[in-house]
Structure 1
């Protein structure tokens, strides 16, 4: 079994805190298609969640979460039941006592610098400080304790590579829908020096994005807003957009294809990710029906990123 850099989340209120009660680590091993629902089940009760590649050939992942022992048991049971229903895979839950210091040491060890494409590098705060630009790369710094979307995952890497390919168009109105920790929003803001609207349905994500933007000196360019998809008031007020990042999930992307097309400016670009290779054609078909055209596909491991455009008006 080998581990890769985990995608992690620690709510700011608990990050680095001293725990007066006992901690425990929960873990499940699931196929790649079941990762998202089980990850959400853990996020509902755990202060920290990590995902590690467990089997290269079979594409299985181990999801681990740390929580206070005995707390949130009802929520955990409900979340795991929903995950099993949504994924069709019932995973066996394991538990073991955990020392906070040991978990953080593992996080730091597993979060090396990530070099992405030709222009970007993602680094944790536990690494030696560096300048915003190093060896021709823009350096995006994340707190290693809140590094969900650290750049290790194929969908994040694919989005940044796709952005490199279209950045020469110099889009002015930019949206990062489902921003996570704001890595994509920060990459766009840093490279183009443009303002970026970053939205997410999760309050913790909005807080973390704002903190990361300030950490990288981009607080004046990245605006983090809480909202539910395309119904978010900040989105409707700022539309239409010249560039949209949507690193979400395949089925929500399909369901929102018409709304994406409606909020994209003529000639605008959409970068879609969070898709397994097997899901890409389904997502592409939904957006073609909405009037968008495929410009390019990028692959990172088993993940596909789609670059789509709305044709200019004649």
Structure 2
């Protein structure tokens, strides 16, 4: 489906909607998950009439007829209305569209997107300001991973070597280091801008960069295809919050990075994709230890079954590239 015709320009589509429709759009829209560049959706009351609401959808590139039709299906009350489709000036529209986002609380974590928002007492407060990279905590998959990590810590799980593949803004790696403060950690993303933003976010949240216990190493990599990622293996905790396609494609290389008895946390997939993702990881010796759903988005915790006898793996095969070109963070 040709959802976006021209990725060089940012565009906005506006449609009227009811308050009930606006409230129903709170959270992630499963239909957009299959798009290469899903839009950012914002709903608000109109200035002229507080009883009338509007939907603004921000696209990277001019939206095609299929994308506009999908938007219309989300707000049936706008069936007779003509959508306002306009090109935006050359500004950071992602930041602009996210300025009004509320803070997110998941488990022990409270994630703010605006520095002036108050911290929440009794929680681990993290600041991930809206910007060029995604993963601000608003996405159900990111919040689901935060809650999963918190539960793992509460039941006494301990980790010393952590990898976050497809890190986005670095948020999940920061969370892991807050829970397991002496762990070694590395985070990667296929997008060098995401790695740059993650470094800025690490400094803003007091996360030390570099090697060693309690520090975070950052690398640009497609999947697990980086010497630093392979060289630090095996991991006792690996996190991958990306998409179902690359999760399946990367299953052999990601599982090879994890030690016997180690844990993988997977997210970024839809309910209907969970069986296929699980099958790919079970084929690599993983078993499902826990599943937690937030709307249409499951978070999976897998554990690697121990091998027996001479077949027991000692280290990852360093010749395996572990690459999934074209895939990055969600």
TM-score after normalising by structure 2:
0.68
Residue of structure 2 in register with 1:219 after alignment: 208
- 1:108 to 1:235, Cα distance in 2 relative to 1, 3 A: same
CA shift at 1:184, angstroms? Answer: 0.3
Residue of structure 2 in register with 1:179 after alignment: 167
CA shift at 1:53, angstroms? Answer: 7.9
> Are 1:126 and 1:144, in contact at CA under 8 Å, matched by a contact in 2?
no
- 1:147 to 1:240, Cα distance in 2 relative to 1, 3 A: same
Structure-to-structure mapping, 1:157-306, within 5 angstroms: 157-167=143-153, 168-193=156-181, 194-220=183-209, 221-306=215-300
Match of residue 115, structure 1, among 94, 100, 105: 105
- Partner Cα distance (1:179, 1:101) in 2: 21
- Partner Cα distance (1:241, 1:296) in 2: 19
- 1:149 to 1:27, Cα distance in 2 relative to 1, 3 A: farther
Gaps in structure 1 of 5+ consecutive residues: 1-22, 41-48, 55-60, 67-75, 82-88
- The root-mean-square deviation of aligned C-alpha atoms, in Å, is 3.2
- 1:102 to 1:250, Cα distance in 2 relative to 1, 3 A: closer
- Cα-to-partner distance string for 1:47-102 (whole Å, 9 max, x where unaligned): xx734489xxxxxx974147xxxxxxxxx47xx78xxxxxxx93249632557699
- Partner Cα distance (1:232, 1:160) in 2: 25
CA shift at 1:198, angstroms? Answer: 0.5
> Are 2:42 and 2:97, in contact at CA under 8 Å, matched by a contact in 1?
no
> Are 2:40 and 2:97, in contact at CA under 8 Å, matched by a contact in 1?
no
Q: How many residues align?
A: 255
- Partner Cα distance (2:177, 2:36) in 1: 32
Residue of structure 2 in register with 1:15 after alignment: none
CA shift at 1:128, angstroms? Answer: 3.6
- 1:292 to 1:96, Cα distance in 2 relative to 1, 3 A: same
> Are 1:210 and 1:223, in contact at CA under 8 Å, matched by a contact in 2?
no
1:37 paired with 2:35, answer yes
- Partner Cα distance (1:102, 1:239) in 2: 38
What secondary structure, in the 3-state scheme, does the structure 2 residue paired with 1:275 have?
coil
- Cα-to-partner distance string for 1:227-280 (whole Å, 9 max, x where unaligned): 111221111111111101000111111111111221101110000000111111
Gaps in structure 2 of 5+ consecutive residues: 1-8, 16-27, 45-54, 70-83, 210-214, 309-330
Bigger radius of gyration, 1 or 2? 2
